[in-house]
Amino acid sequence: MNIQKLRNFGRNKLKENSIEDASFKAEILLQYILNMNKTEIIINSEKEVQHDLEQKYIAYLDEVIAGKPIQYITHKQEFMGLNFYVDESVLIPQPDTEILVEETIRTVTANNKLLGQNIKILDLCTGSGAIAISLENYLKNKFETETIASDVSKKAIDVAKRNARENNAKVKFIISDMFENIKENNFDIIVSNPPYIEKATIITLSKEVQNEPHLALDGGIDGLDFYKIIAKEGYKHLKSGGYILVEIGYNQKESVSNIFKEYTDQYIEVNCIKDLNGQDRVIEVKRR
């Protein structure tokens, strides 16, 4: 089978199985298998594909149909203009989370007189390291930054370390169950995209999402377990005038805001930032 025929075969097979973005995914898999970009595939469309590569491509199509995220096959995901390695031990960084990074950058920049030029950041539940690495990448040219990232999963930390190396980011990684192994108490920024899916809801999500690590999805019965920990413990690790920014689910604005408002002696200025689709996406609070 030549490249063009294999390309059509992949697209049709995914469409027949009602796979979302079938043409795009078939194309990405073909580029990955053949180690070609889109232009090279077009130029070489009549070239015959080796049988073993053809069979590998078909096997990957079957994995996608079974619900495996394509990023776990190609081990690639772009986030904030950077390339990240991902596998089954970490969540796949999503475009919506870029709002959390962008808002953190804005907060640091807008408050540089208060926070100073030496910015210390803690990223909880770092997963692939995408948030911490992106912040380090975009802030290091304007500020003296020290970024620490933690996760309870050693496998996730190993992936994050790899991504830091490949993106030339100076981030310190710690295996920690939330604040358990975090000894510093002078952070300017604490940022987190914690697990926030209600436990019972996970089984209703798409097959692709269900194939991502449940440890990074499960926010407890009400989806709020980790926000409660961050609110209760966060201020102990934050400078006066520092900020906490967390990603939230589309329907969690009031509940997460109220969690922080329970600590009125510690936090002020509880604000919500919407994403590009107008959905509530980030809660930002300031330490007194």
**pLDDT reported for residue 115:** 77
**pLDDT reported for residue 117:** 85
The CATH class of 91-287 is alpha beta
**pLDDT reported for residue 112:** 81
Q: In the chain, which stretches have pLDDT less than 70?
A: none
Put residue 211 in one of left, alpha, beta given phi > 0 → left and psi -120 to 50 → alpha: alpha
**pLDDT reported for residue 113:** 75
Sketch the domain layout of the chain as residue ranges: 3-66, 91-287
Question: Buried b vs exposed e over 92-114: b needs ≥16 C-beta within 10 Å?
Answer: bbeebbbbbbbbbbebbeebeee
Sequence-separated contacts (24+) of 264-273 with Cβ below 8 Å: 266/235, 267/231, 267/235, 272/248, 273/99, 273/103
